Structure 1
Amino acid sequence: MSRTAHSDRSTATPRSTTAPAPAAARLRVVEKTHDVPRKEVLGEGVLTGKQVTADLPDPEPLLRNLGRSVFEAMAGVRDIEQMARWVAPDVYSVLLQRVQHSARARRIRGKTVRRPYIVTKTCLWQSPRAGVVEATVLVDLGARVRAVAIRLEEFRGRWRAERFNVL
């Protein structure tokens, strides 16, 4: 080997110094994988993409609304009773406690109720089996971004949140 070839290799930048793709680019790729047609079924009934069942509505609008509504309720600008139809009774009681705690904290600090800046950024969901949807909704609150994990299950021909976790 000649000395010039060896010196060229030593001056080249190693491959490990390249920066990974930004998180936003990775999220876009994940969202694009959900573009599977709703009625397509593979193999022995394995559900893929956004397909859940043919008789239930698309869960994404409900997921986005529930993610936004929980923060509006904690801010005091939405009644928790408006969400009662869309959540299970045990989820409702936990949300009610959290809303009451937020109201008590506002009262102690002397803060008034203000409509917060809330934008639903991303809604990623999957259907592990028919009649079940597990989702993560990213909600931009202006000062910070929060995540809400929601599990929807079929209940009397519609979706209902059986699990709800604000991260």
Structure 2
Amino acid sequence: MPVITRPPALEPPALTLLRPPALHLRSVPPELPFRPAVPTKATAKKVSFGPQATPRNALPDPIAHARALVLALLEVLSGRRPVQQLRAHLTEDAYHRLAGRLQRARAGVRSTPYRPRNRTRIHLGRTLLCEPADGVAEVTVLADVGTRTRAVAIRLEGLDGRWRCPVLTIL
């Protein structure tokens, strides 16, 4: 059903010549229909262009990711896989520490804890998971490398929607 309204006036209202308009010496700001929010420390959103933390519910299974990462790490240490394949799964600091360690080991300056041959069998055993905070997983994987058993402890942090490893330790 159409609504009939009065059209707006096309001309401004006529000014009366008998009384001039009052001049205000002080300007008064117009009243706003709302009160603008003033950002505080609690409500101010900081913009960051670095890696963004990801909550646990938005990340894949940490055990499966950790086992795949440990297997790839052991293959890198045995010489079956290039270290560059781990770059996407490690943070920059962890990657540079691992690459430097491998480079020193190959130069003979410092040896790695073990150097299995290319034909050495790698079998992953028991996996233990601890989640100390949201988006953080600490995983320990027992691995049989040839005749020796090693424990590999890694910390996974959810960054930019995927797991990244900032710390790894081979015992």
Does TM, scored on the shorter chain, surpass 0.5? yes
> In the TM superposition, what whole-angstrom CA distance separates every residue of 1:125-151 from its partner, at most 9, and x where no partner exists?
111111000111111102100111100
Match of 1:136 in 2: 140
Other-structure match for 2:17: none
36, 41, 53: which one aligns with 2:56: 53
Match runs of 1:76-87 below 5 Å: 76-87=79-90
Describe the SS at the equivalent of 1:86: coil
Identity %: 37
- Compute the displacement of 1:89 (Å): 0.7
Query: Match of 1:34?
Result: none
- Structure 1's unaligned 5+ residue stretches are 1-51, 106-110
Counting matched residue pairs gives 111
Contact 2:153 2:168 in 1 (8 A): yes
| Native 8 Å contact 1:72 1:115 kept in 2 | no
Q: Secondary structure at the match of 1:135?
A: strand
Q: Aligned in 2, Cα 1:100/1:164: closer, same or farther, shift over 3 Å?
A: same
Task: Please name the residue that 1:5 is paired with.
Answer: none
Partners in 2 of 1:143 and 1:104 — Cα distance?
26
Partner residue in 1 for 2:91: 88
Question: What is the TM-score of this pair, normalised by structure 1?
Answer: 0.61
Task: Give the CA deviation at 1:163.
Answer: 0.8
Q: 1:89-148: per-residue Cα shift (whole Å, max 9, x none)?
A: 11101111222234345xxxxx9x623210111111111111000111111102100111
Q: Pick one of 103, 106, 117 that aligns with 1:103.
A: 106
RMSD of aligned residue pairs (Cα, Å): 2.1
Give, as a single letter, the amino acid of the residue that structure 2 aligns with 1:61: A
Determine if contact 2:56/2:136 at 8 Å carries over to the other structure.
no
Cα deviation digits, residues 42-96 of structure 1 (max 9, x gap): xxxxxxxxxx722110011111112122221111110111110000111101111
Larger helix share, 1 or 2: 1
Query: 2:170 is matched by which residue type in structure 1?
Result: V
Q: Could you tell me how far apart the structure 2 residues matched to 1:164 and 1:157 are?
A: 20
- Greater gyration radius: 2
Question: 5+ residue gaps in structure 2?
Answer: 1-54, 109-114
Cα distance in 1 for partners of 2:74, 2:68 equals: 10
